[in-house]
A = this chain, B = another copy of it.
Amino acid sequence: MSTIERTGRTIRLREPPVLLAEAAVGSQKERQGPLGKWLHFVFEDAFAGTKTWEAAESAMHQKAVQLALERAGLRETDVDVALAGDLLNQCMSSSFALRQMQIPFAGMFGACSTMALTLGMAAILTACGAAERAIASTSSHFCAAEKQFRMPLEYGGQRAPTAQWTATAAGAAVVARKGDGPRIEAVHFGTVTDYGVKDSANMGAAMAPSACRTIADFLEDLRLKPAQMDLILTGDLGAVGSDLLQNLLRRERDTEIRAVHQDCGCLLYDDTQDVHAGASGCGCSAAVLCAHILRRMREGSLRRVLFAGTGALLSGVSPLQGESIPSVTHAVLLTAQGGTV
């Protein structure tokens, strides 16, 4: 029997690869948030020792990868492939981070779903023997994202109540065919979904339908009920999108997840930090997963987590051309060592 098989739209890994180690880094605003003390490294400021925000994001990305390797007790040459992506034009943060390293680099793009996408791909590549060990990583940077997608930072534009705050953070995980750590038991690549939302200051609304689809399809494929999960973790719908997701799942797919649902966008910052609807950016779910959720899985307080990364597939140009915002949600099923589906 093959150890990798499809169940409906979901890929089951019968000999699940493990997360050997992970690392999350952030800047000052992330340090001040509720998860700040769990970050593995905090940069002094948003320049991270560089001269541009883009280079800063790249430096943070690289730091997360280096720390994850260090925490796994590995060198660069122990890793067969790095799966990485980000939201800078042409995934610059990833390319420039990996330029410093002797690791083959397969670039990926999933907008804010990138951590789930790269983790899922790393899981498959290690499970099938294409790699013994793989890195999954991503990053984002508030200033670089604002400048690229919205307004010059100096302009000081007012943010909408539905807007989310791009995390200045990065996360990386080392996935291996064998070893100890939380396991990746299933991978689900999402299908692009577009309900016609055009407001680029309300990404939560744009992404909720795709999260609904992926979560419902996944649970259906594996014949799981939400109550059988310790946590269904979306990232990054924020407050607005989280509500919409719960409502959509109830209405369209007869599924109630409120009791087990949390969203990375609502975990990284708290209400005093003036982030409006929550956090966003590739680095948000990467940091929440690597600093917080995987730690809790290692401690044993979470045993079965569906991590569903949500991504809004817009560019700086597409909304100006009148396009709506398609989105995609990729998911991985994480289980604590010794757990099983």
Q: Does A95 reach chain B (CB closer than 8 Å)?
A: yes
Main secondary structure of the interface of A (DSSP, over half): mixed
B130 near A92: Cβ-Cβ < 8 Å: no
Give the chain B neighbours of A104 by CB distance below 8 A: 9, 188-191
Residues of B within 8 A of A38 (CB): none
Does A55 have its Cβ within 8 Å of any Cβ on chain B?
Answer: yes
A168-193 CB mask vs B (1 if < 8 Å, else 0) is 00000000000000000001111110
CB distance from A169 to the nearest CB of B (A): 19
Q: Tell me how many chains of this kind the complex includes.
A: 2
Evaluate contact between B321 and A52: CB separation under 8 angstroms. Answer: yes
Cβ B54 vs Cβ A106 within 8 A: no
B190 A4 Cβ-Cβ under 8 A: no
Residue of B whose beta carbon sits closest to that of A84: B109
Q: Is A80 an interface residue (CB 8 A)?
A: yes
- The proximity string for A residues 86-106 relative to B, scoring 1 for CB distances below 8 Å and 0 otherwise, is 011111101110110111111
Q: Is A40 an interface residue (CB 8 A)?
A: no
Encode A127-144 as 1/0 by CB contact (under 8 A) with B.
Answer: 111111000000000000
Q: A6-B131, A88-B315 are in contact. Are A189 and B117 (CB under 8 A)?
A: no
Contact A106 B330 (CB under 8 A): yes
Residues of B within 8 A of A313 (CB): 90-92, 95-96, 99
Say which residue of B88, B128, B190, B323 sits within 8 Å of A130 (CB atoms): B128
Identify which of B9, B88, B129, B191 contacts A6 (C-beta below 8 A). Answer: B129
**Docked complex Cα distance between A4 and B3 (Å):** 12
**Which residues of chain B have C-beta atoms less than 8 A from A109's C-beta?**
85, 90-91, 94, 107-109
Q: Per-position contact with B for A59-76: 1 when CB-CB < 8 Å, else 0?
A: 000000000000000000
> Chain B's nearest CB lies how many Å from the CB of A41?
23
Contact B96 A130 (CB under 8 A): no
Most buried by B among A91, A188, A192: A192
Decide: A130 near B330, CB < 8 A? Known: A96-B323, A107-B110, A192-B95: no
Please, how many angstroms separate the alpha-carbon atoms of A106 and B123 in the complex? Answer: 14
Who on chain B is nearest to A330 by CB? B106
Write out the residue numbers on chain B whose beta carbons fall within 8 Å of the beta carbon of A127. 128
User: Per a CB cutoff under 8 Å, which of B99, B117, B131, B316 touches A107?
Assistant: B117
25 contacts between A and B (CB under 8 A): A4-B129, A6-B130, A11-B130, A11-B131, A54-B321, A81-B189, A88-B315, A89-B315, A90-B315, A92-B318, A94-B109, A96-B318, A96-B323, A96-B326, A98-B191, A98-B192, A99-B326, A104-B189, A105-B189, A107-B117, A107-B328, A108-B108, A121-B121, A124-B128, A127-B128
